[in-house]
Amino acid sequence: MDLLEDDIVPDHARDVKAEARAFAREHIEPNAQERFQSGEYPHDVLAAGQEANLVGQDIPEEWGGRGLDLPQLLALTEEFYRADAGIALTLQLASFGCEITYEYGSDEQCEEYIRPVAEGDQISGLAVSEPETGSDLAGMQTRAEKDGDEYVLNGEKYWIGNGVEADWVTLYARTGDDETNRYGNHSMFIVPTDADGYEAEHIPEKMAMRASKQAHVELEDCRIPEANLIGTEGAGFWMLAEFFNQGRIVVSGHGLGIAAAAIEETWEFVHDREEFGRTINEFQAVQHGLADALIDFERARALSWRACEKVQNGENPGYWAALAKTSATETAVDVTEQGMQFHGGRSILDERRIARLYRDARIPVIYEGANEIQRNLIYGQAPSS
């Protein structure tokens, strides 16, 4: 069974999809279970991904990347996440936040920070969430105060991918307090992780995606040059809103890859396992459960690819991105749970792939904006009659 067929994928994205599939089979799948259990950062797989030009390659060609567009990124993402969500997240977080700089930053910033990521010499991160708020972008409290030709940063960031490993992070901070313009009080900054006053430590244990590392970042009088402001002061909220529209399409690929893996794994298991003198796929309840999983998966995948085209074309992107992210990630939760049920008692064993998938599926429904927030966006941005 192969649920990630490329007939739904635009022609120009199929070569990248094939590259990603070959890479996933050679480098991600063989390391998945060991890295999940050890929780070790997969430096070797990341290096291989950089060497294969499959990491950070949405970066434009002028800054050293391949200029992959959104359909190409979605095609790649499906394949990586079917192989293993934890390692896949590490590969994608290696350039997290770069889009904000190459879309809104200066040529000097791109040359200094973006090109090394595209060429595999550095990795980046994105620091938005805080200990007391995750989805409320306008409520973030980490502050950047102007002092001469520098900004002074104070505050905390939480759940920051590569907060320890990154060479630099794109950081979202408050630069104003205008109560009449709630969405104009934040800005984006490039913050080198070796700057004085930047301290980060790993969040020690996670139930899922353990090969990816997140951090708690503390900023205490952390000084950065004024030149590290991205774009204009006060535009941070709108930069992130656009960034997340693209990102939520990619996250729908997280859900699709996990869901495809769960269905394929379960399909193979029920056709091999015997109960009451016959393989369990012969029971109608199992057949119906798998049929429902396939219906849910194909519906979510069709929506994700339609939404990808809409966002790529700038057609009500917030609405379509929220639809795709919610549908695909919740499908992953549902089908992995069904897969656990059909695996029976063996499903809870650590070495079972379905157990890893079940854990991993719980994470994408939360990041890039919890799905409750996505429903707010869907309702608020739905096309009017």
Tokens of 272: 């091999």
First to last CA, the chain: 41
Separation of alpha carbons 210 and 254, rounded Å: 15
- 319 alpha-carbon distance from chain centroid: 18
DSSP class of residue 27 equals: I
Separation of alpha carbons 3 and 310, rounded Å: 23
Apex CA 296: angle with CA 365 and CA 12, to 5°? Answer: 85
Contacts of 168 (CB under 8 A, 6+ apart): 113, 122, 124, 125, 190, 191, 192, 193
Any catalytic annotation for residue 368?
Answer: yes
Helices 14-23 and 70-83 sit at what angle, rounded to 10 degrees? Answer: 20
How many CB atoms neighbour CB 87 within 10 A? 28
- Asked whether the beta carbons of 76 and 91 are under 8 A apart, the reply is no
How many CB atoms neighbour CB 79 within 10 A? 27
Separation of alpha carbons 305 and 298, rounded Å: 11
The helix/strand/coil state of 366 is coil
One DSSP character per residue, 276-306 reads TTEEGGGSHHHHHHHHHHHHHHHHHHHHHHH
- Using a 10 angstrom Cβ sphere, with 0-12 exposed, 13-18 middle and 19 or more buried, the burial of residue 105 is buried
Separation of alpha carbons 321 and 249, rounded Å: 6
Separation of alpha carbons 43 and 87, rounded Å: 10
- Selected catalytic residue, list 337, 351, 368, 372: 368
Separation of alpha carbons 40 and 173, rounded Å: 30
Q: Catalytic amino acids? A: 368
